[in-house]
Amino acid sequence: MYYEIAVKNGLFLSVFQRSIYNEPNLRAFPWWKIEDSKYEVHLKVSFTFGKKGSYVYVNFESFFKILEDNWLLIKNEALEQIDEKSKSFLLLGTKNRTQGDWNYFNLYIRGEKIEENCEKMPILCKLLDQIEPAIKCTRGEIKLSLILPDLPVYPRCGLTNCKIRAYMSLKIFGSTHMRVLNETRKLTEGKLIIFDDSFEHEIKHEGESYHLALIVDFWHPDLSESKKNELNPI
């Protein structure tokens, strides 16, 4: 009932999309496909000069594929940040206020690079340098997430509809599922999924040890460059 009242008063976009900092006319999918994001490809161009003239080599590569293709390197670098005794990050970024056993290792917050942490993960941060829609997203974050088993992670909604979230499991002990709105998917190591966290979502991890994941927020692809520059960081 309270959610419905909030929707009628313009506070929420819908009962199930309960973000507060919203922009109108943005596509709203709980789950996203890479091809829907407009971030499917970017160009890598190289020039070769020789006796026969110059040649241009153009390679189309997905921003998301950059992360998936290098997931083992990212995983190994991320595992080095974990204290195996305490099952928390050695250099703690943030601890979730409502779930004490859910830790974050922050790399970018509101478009600002956390230099101390990026020095610990040079491979990942070098890859991120190629992904401008993520590292310049002032309404998002890039971080590692560490969830201990049987931790109740209650349904929640993100603060804004101005971003989409890429989530890649790096190490799973046991079984982990994510629900976004009314669809639940099983998470797999090295497989990236994309969702809109302004919709109600939750994650359930069942296993003998932790679940380690990489979270990368991207600007919503429908936002213009001028609009992105106008928006206050949150």
154 token code pair:
């209650």
Backbone angles phi, psi at 121, to 5 degrees: -130, 65
Q: Which pTM does this prediction carry?
A: 0.89
Count of structural domains, the chain: 1
Q: Is the separation of the CB atoms in 81 and 146 below 8 Å?
A: no
Question: If you count DSSP H runs as helices and E runs as strands, how many of each does the chain have, helices first?
Answer: 7, 15
Exposed e or buried b for every residue in 57-74, given b needs 16+ CB within 10 A?
eeeeebbbeebeebbeeb
pLDDT value at residue 93: 58
227 vs 158: CA distance, rounded Å: 20
Q: How does DSSP assign 171-221, residue by residue?
A: EESSEEEEEETTEEEE--TT-EEEE-TTB-EEEEEESSS-EEEEEEEEE-T
In-domain check, residue 95? yes
Using CA atoms, how far apart are residues 206 and 214, in angstroms rounded to an integer? 18
Which residue range is the domain that position 96 belongs to? 31-39+65-230
pLDDT digits (tens, 9 = 90+) for 183-233: 999 999 999 999 999 999 999 988 888 999 999 999 999 999 999 999 999
Judge whether residue 43 has pLDDT over 80.
Answer: no
Angle at 214 between CA 213 and CA 216, to 5 degrees: 145
Eight-class DSSP state of 78: H
Which pLDDT belongs to residue 151?
Answer: 72
C-alpha distances in angstroms, 116 versus 11, 125, 156, 212?
37, 11, 30, 20
* Share of the chain residues as helix, strand and coil, in percent rounded to the nearest 5: 20, 35, 40
- Domain contains 58: no
Residue 91 inside a domain? The answer is yes
Closest CA to 171 of 97, 90, 82, 45: 82
Identify whether 217 is part of a domain.
yes
**Residue 47 within a domain:** no
pLDDT digits (tens, 9 = 90+) for 135-186: 999 999 999 999 988 776 789 999 999 999 999 999 999 899 999 999 999 9
In a domain, 18, yes or no: no
pLDDT of residue 47 exceeding 50, the answer is no
pLDDT tens-digit map of 103-134: 999 999 999 999 999 999 999 999 999 999 99
What DSSP element (H or E) covers 53? strand 53-61
Residue 25 included in any domain: no
Do 228 and 172 form a contact (C-beta atoms < 8 A)?
A: no
- 207, part of any domain: yes
User: Does residue 74 surpass a pLDDT of 90?
Assistant: yes
Q: Alpha helices, DSSP H only, in the chain?
A: 2-8, 63-69, 71-79, 115-120, 122-128, 132-135, 225-230
Q: In CATH, what number is assigned to the domain containing residue 86?
A: 2.60.120.330
Phi (first) and psi of residue 202, to 5 degrees? -155, 160
**Contact indicator for 180, 201 with CB cutoff of 8 Å:** yes
